Structure 1
């Protein structure tokens, strides 16, 4: 089925400008006559979004800032990670929140990638964070392939993706944490029911996972950057081996590795953050510059939304009202920044397929 570009959703129509950036002009209307106005603008290499007590927080990769974004579009610095080693794709990456008051951040230090926990204090407009407690450090890091996506699963555990950090061989090494999805208790300890004894490893054989999400039935999904052949959308099973570096995309008749349910050439995709809403996976694509939808009950059913209108897309998040927030990533050194970049845009899926 040929993807349908930009015809399946209505973009939010109320402009709410960020306080630290000039008002950008409206985005051009697509052929479908949808309109687009950002929720917030003037962000610097943003990477991850998470809701904390119904308040939106955003991480900035290079500055190390964690920003609180109000519905007015204004944003303020809640905290800044000062001992950051922001090199290449490293820096302040993923955020995750566990109610009632625990925020997790994945960031790059000189000694490697790490996961830190903060206690959230205050209320909307006045949030603050405690000093960080490091739960896990010295994770593999490099200029590329740092992983960095985190999420709280329906089981209350913290999941984190760790890239292969330019060392593909460690993805198949169960004694190494690179090229893995990790699962840990909220305090950073190893859950007793993890698939490998005394190990944080939940799945392995990954190159660079940057999207994690769960469907309503509890199934776990991950989006992953390939190298030259295929990017992937995978169903993640405990203990599963997803093939890197032995294979990209579907393994075919061999059957030694777990196949993706969907795959794309990297030039058309490079999927980063993802969200699942009403049985449809929404994947923010960097090189492809589209918001790709995949119907989970029929993964061959895909649509490409936004069609380059916002440039590179880093993350997507379901907001409390059931709409989607899309985070652009044009100021990360690889994009083509426009007026007001980077932005957060609210979209309403409407009758989108899936």
Structure 2
């Protein structure tokens, strides 16, 4: 059941590698200050258009589960069940993919929630759960054994990558295994903008590493896990069928971004926000006024990138083609379920969408937070 439309009002490292697993403007999660009068190259569209293009119609098939507290990361297990992390509760919960029944697998030791930090993204591979978390001194990636059977619990965390800068804001946190089998992570610059351009820092980057946490073969910078740089706060990672990497990123005052990420490239922050056409920097493929997005998780399904919006409280669809983008973005579910945190592609035509009203910045209603079943046609 959809919630009433409620709009929140907002005011104007040393690297350590260890073997392991396979603002508002100040926060990067609010809409930010009012955008400039210039018109976005990708204007918003009405919610749930009645004549969507092929592969572009999305409908809410129901609520899979509800009553979640500060949900953040979402991953699918073999067989279709889901794992969801709680940023502030520090727990990982298993969700039955058919009934929505919840089983708390345990609290992850060493998580220190605060601001935008806590237990963030998760990824599953080869009987292990990887998690991106905020610890006492840094952000880090750990792995935990998990057999996946009935009654199984999480094993103790083993560090994969430590030394990612932490802050009250802009901690990044999304992790995912790419089609090349490597582990990717999106990080933030923690409000210290200079970290984004410093290739020796892990802040404001997209990282690529082996499942054991070492620099992946073919990385653009020798003996480094840094894959791309010049990012403000990467929040979503996804690949299309051609193996291209896409990333969603919080802007500051003017533009939120969807980027196509290539190794070794500079995405501009803090020298550039949005499209600038400046040599040496990569312009985003799509951009939005910060009031319409505050982009979080993304997923690929049926010819498009789907992007969950926090401040914008909507689900964006960005159609792709063999070249790049084949049409203008369309907005769905605007204001119907509040802040949207994570979207995950499941099966051939489905998405699972996580709301984010209990993260201290939303307006929780009965049943929040929830995981929605979406069908794409």
- Which of these residues, 188, 207, 210, is aligned with residue 182 of structure 1? 207
Match of 2:59 in 1: 10
**Could you tell me how far apart the structure 1 residues matched to 2:63 and 2:216 are?**
41
Q: Does 1:268 align with 2:292?
A: yes
State which drifts further: 225-234 or 114-123.
114-123
Q: Is the 8 A contact 1:147 1:209 kept in 2?
A: yes
What is the CA deviation profile of residues 34-90 of structure 1, one whole-angstrom value per residue up to 9, with x for unaligned ones? xxx311000000001001223200000001000000121111111211322100000
Match of 1:231 in 2: 256
- Which of these residues, 137, 140, 145, is aligned with residue 114 of structure 1? 140
**Could you tell me how far apart the structure 2 residues matched to 1:112 and 1:160 are?**
15
Larger relative contact order (Cα-Cα within 8 Å, sequence gap ≥ 6): 2
Q: Is the 8 A contact 1:121 1:130 kept in 2?
A: no
Query: Structure 1 pair 204/309, CA: closer, same or farther in 2 (3 Å)?
Result: same
Query: Structure 1 pair 59/106, CA: closer, same or farther in 2 (3 Å)?
Result: same
**Which TM-score applies when normalising by structure 1?**
0.89
Match of 2:29 in 1: none
Q: Does 1:209 align with 2:234?
A: yes
How much has 1:280 moved relative to structure 2?
A: 0.4
How much has 1:321 moved relative to structure 2?
A: 5.0
What is the CA deviation profile of residues 185-243 of structure 1, one whole-angstrom value per residue up to 9, with x for unaligned ones? 00101123110001110000000000000000000000000000110000000001000
**Could you tell me how far apart the structure 2 residues matched to 1:132 and 1:255 are?**
43
Query: Structure 1 pair 172/336, CA: closer, same or farther in 2 (3 Å)?
Result: same
**Residue aligned with 1:129, SS:** coil
Match of 2:356 in 1: 329
Match of 1:49 in 2: 74
**Could you tell me how far apart the structure 1 residues matched to 2:105 and 2:326 are?**
39
How much has 1:138 moved relative to structure 2?
A: 2.5
Query: Structure 1 pair 211/119, CA: closer, same or farther in 2 (3 Å)?
Result: same
**Residue aligned with 2:298, SS:** strand
How much has 1:300 moved relative to structure 2?
A: 4.5
Unaligned runs of 5+ in 2: 1-42, 50-56
Q: Does 1:95 align with 2:117?
A: no
Match of 1:348 in 2: 375
Paired positions, count: 323
- Which of these residues, 65, 85, 96, is aligned with residue 40 of structure 1? 65
RMSD of aligned Cα (Å) = 1.3
Unaligned runs of 5+ in 1: 13-36
How much has 1:174 moved relative to structure 2?
A: 0.7
**Could you tell me how far apart the structure 1 residues matched to 2:319 and 2:158 are?**
39
**Could you tell me how far apart the structure 1 residues matched to 2:226 and 2:199 are?**
7
**Could you tell me how far apart the structure 1 residues matched to 2:109 and 2:369 are?**
22
**Residue aligned with 2:287, SS:** strand
**Residue aligned with 1:95, SS:** strand
Q: Is the 8 A contact 2:163 2:202 kept in 1?
A: no
- Which of these residues, 247, 252, 255, is aligned with residue 222 of structure 1? 247
How much has 1:2 moved relative to structure 2?
A: 5.4
**Residue aligned with 2:196, SS:** helix
Match of 1:258 in 2: 282
Superposed structure 1 runs of 4+ greater than 4 Å apart: none
How much has 1:111 moved relative to structure 2?
A: 1.0
What is the CA deviation profile of residues 150-192 of structure 1, one whole-angstrom value per residue up to 9, with x for unaligned ones? 0000000000011001111010011111000000000101123
**Which TM-score applies when normalising by structure 2?**
0.83
Q: Does 1:289 align with 2:313?
A: yes
**Could you tell me how far apart the structure 2 residues matched to 1:64 and 1:180 are?**
24
**Could you tell me how far apart the structure 1 residues matched to 2:369 and 2:272 are?**
35
**Residue aligned with 1:121, SS:** coil
